Structure 1
Amino acid sequence: MRPGETPEDRLRDALRARAVEVEPAPDALARIRMRTAGRRRSGWAMIGAAGAVAAAVAAAVVVFAPERGPEPDPQPAATASRVTPSPAPPSASAAPSPASVQLPVYFIRNGMLYREFHAVPLTADTDADRIAAAVRESLTGEARDPDYGTAWPPGITVRGVSIDGKAVTVDLGDVGADARDGARALAVQQLVYTVAAASTYTSIKKADAIRLVVDGAPVAKLWGSVDAGGPLRQAPMTEVQGPVWVIDPQQDQQAGRSFTVYLAGVVHEGTVQLRIRGAGGKVVFERTVQLSAGAPALGEARVPVTLPPGRYTVESWYVSMQDSSVQAVDDHEFTVG
């Protein structure tokens, strides 16, 4: 102990050192506000020097916390541009507004799965509520990219989600006679991949088993042909996921003049093509991009770009090793402001 140093001084130094290591989720503030909005305000007495230090650490966590995107599932990270600002704290007399959190949801394009991040409202911030919100958005919501859609029939409902340990059970209603275009197996994978990705945003971190019930009761077969009596498993990425994804910019995103194109894919040797078109389809940026890994692993890459204000289309694809044809194009329109 240094000359003149008190135990409170040592405690304060230790807590400050730990505070800089804290890395809360991007929506942590909104979740705290939701959980505390209904409680009565009460005065807290300051309990010695330790109480002052704890308050200082809490403030440091809120003010200096870095914005962190989701972890791979294999889910590439969401960028800070997709983080919804925290709502203003409700007044003492007003009912709290539902929090809105960014969650991964899967859609379908050309018979393959693609993912977007959507801000979805929560009426109760529980693990089950987060997963249910993501599933509801995936099965019944509207994708940002007009090329994406759902394989689930119109009228499908998400009755609820329950969690037992790391086993997640999804209760659906109004499943209809068949999936859209008969894509039954892909529809189930759309559900399973969304549950698995959304569970990384909960305290369970990763679902070990995903089960499906219909109208509260187990079913052996969904739509008469898809096995649903036991735990549902994710099919291999190479079988169901789109080979190339444009993660950022998202469809209709507003970007700054300097931004980052975020790509992901499962392709041979991890080599993809990147192109950005401006007004009239004019190519303003083009590059061959090397992802961080090649198939069968998921590779990622971030490419910094600077463009003048305007409306653009970002495209990415891979070139066939057999005939040099363009394969698996994913594209988004966005605006540089």
Structure 2
Amino acid sequence: MRPERATPEERLRAALLARADEVETSPDALPRIRLRTARARRRGAWAMIGAAAAVATAIAAGAVVVADRRADHAPAPATSSSVRPEQSHTPAPSARTVNLPVYFTHDGRLYREFTPVTLADDTDRGRIRAAVERSLRGQAADPDYRTLWPAGVTVRDVGIDGATVTVDLDGVGDPPSDLALQQLVYTVSAVSTYTSIRKADGVRVLGRTLHQAPMADVQAPVWVIEPAQGAVVGKTFTVYVAGIVWEGTVHVRVRDAGGGVVFEQVVQLSAGAPALGEARVPVTLGSGKYTVESFFISPKDSSVQWVDDHEFSVG
């Protein structure tokens, strides 16, 4: 067969045979090939043993995990208590103190104070109940603030139905005044913004569903929010005031322990009557005891009106 007529397979076979003829075979080639084959077999055997051991270890580990999970979900032993077993080991929530807005009265108007209240029950009901109790008892830091509710009145319970809060009172006696009711309503409404209710749409008390009266009708025209009564502040602090006054213009004044004026400024609130306005005034003073006052000047006779004051200290 002539080369030009050979098929591709025949030409490839002839080339391989020619290349093989050129290779010189070593005398020890066959022993070395047999040695490499034996080593490969031994490595394969050890690999199989290692794989089997790994599988056995994994199976054992899996058995431990399954056993642990079964133990976690095993049913608890029966108990005669009415409390479920998982509840019997739940620690009681620890009481904590929070600042809640509480309304009091002074000179026939409502004043708000952020009062530290220790909560044994830190829930919506617990917060509302604690704040209302402080309001009814007149437990304010400012000695000028009072309550219009009679001594001995207590909160029996607080219920929440949607945005309506029901306050069940005991020991009321004579019907309270309208301002006393607003004292309670404003407190509930203010505290509800610190709960999941966000804003109470109505307060049911003594068989009546009440709503907030207009601020201009019941709230004080001017009051100091910060520094709070008895607070200790740094040498640079902020006087925070609010009010419902004509054109929103009030005065902020600070007196030292001897009564001397150490700071005074006319302040423009964020809004004028009948809206509630507020303002923050930065002040820097040396260490000592002071009294901050806020008031407005009557446009009729230029007299000082509705002074609210707090005593505080600069550390």
Answer yes or no: same fold by TM over 0.5.
yes
TM-fit CA distance, 1:97: 3.0
Does the 8 A contact of 2:291 with 2:312 survive in 1?
yes
3-state DSSP of counterpart to 1:138 = helix
**1:174 matches 2:181:** no
- Percent of aligned pairs sharing the same letter: 64
**1:301 matches 2:263:** no
Task: Name the counterpart of 2:78.
Answer: none
Q: Distance in 1 between matches of 2:314 and 2:254?
A: 12
Work out which of the residue numbers 276, 288, 296 in structure 2 matches 1:310. 288
Cα deviations across residues 135-170 of structure 1 (Å, max 9, x unaligned)?
111111411010001000000101111001111100
Task: Name the counterpart of 2:200.
Answer: 207
Cα deviations across residues 57-91 of structure 1 (Å, max 9, x unaligned)?
xxxxxxxxxxxxxxxxxxxxxxxxxxxxxxxxxxx
Q: Distance in 1 between matches of 2:158 and 2:307?
A: 35
**1:143 matches 2:140:** yes
**1:280 matches 2:258:** yes
- AA at the equivalent of 1:240: V
- AA at the equivalent of 2:228: Q
TM-fit CA distance, 1:251: 0.7
Q: Distance in 1 between matches of 2:276 and 2:166?
A: 28
Task: Name the counterpart of 1:271.
Answer: 249
Task: Name the counterpart of 2:64.
Answer: none
Does the 8 A contact of 1:169 with 1:211 survive in 2?
yes
**1:163 matches 2:160:** yes
TM-fit CA distance, 1:96: 4.5
**Structure 1 segment 1-337 matched on structure 2, within 5 A:** 96-177=93-174, 179=176, 184-213=177-206, 218=207, 228=208, 231-337=209-315
TM-fit CA distance, 1:308: 0.3
Cα deviations across residues 249-284 of structure 1 (Å, max 9, x unaligned)?
011111111100001001011000111000210100
Q: Which has the larger radius of gyration?
A: 2
TM-fit CA distance, 1:93: 11
TM-fit CA distance, 1:131: 0.9
Cα deviations across residues 115-136 of structure 1 (Å, max 9, x unaligned)?
1011112222221111111111
Q: Distance in 1 between matches of 2:181 and 2:90?
A: 44
3-state DSSP of counterpart to 2:145 = coil
Task: Name the counterpart of 2:11.
Answer: none
Does the 8 A contact of 2:138 with 2:145 survive in 1?
no
Q: How many equivalent pairs are there?
A: 227
Of Structure 1 and Structure 2, the greater helix share is in: 2
- Alpha carbons of 1:93 and 1:308: their partners in 2 closer, same or farther (altered >3 Å)? farther
What RMSD over aligned residues (CA atoms) do the two structures have, in Å? 1.5
Does the 8 A contact of 2:244 with 2:273 survive in 1?
yes
Q: Distance in 1 between matches of 2:120 and 2:235?
A: 36
TM-fit CA distance, 1:177: 2.5
3-state DSSP of counterpart to 1:280 = coil
Does the 8 A contact of 1:270 with 1:294 survive in 2?
yes
Q: Distance in 2 between matches of 1:264 and 1:171?
A: 32
Does the 8 A contact of 1:244 with 1:317 survive in 2?
yes
Q: Report the TM-score, using the length of structure 2 for normalisation.
A: 0.70
Does the 8 A contact of 1:153 with 1:178 survive in 2?
no
Unaligned 5+ runs, structure 2: 1-88
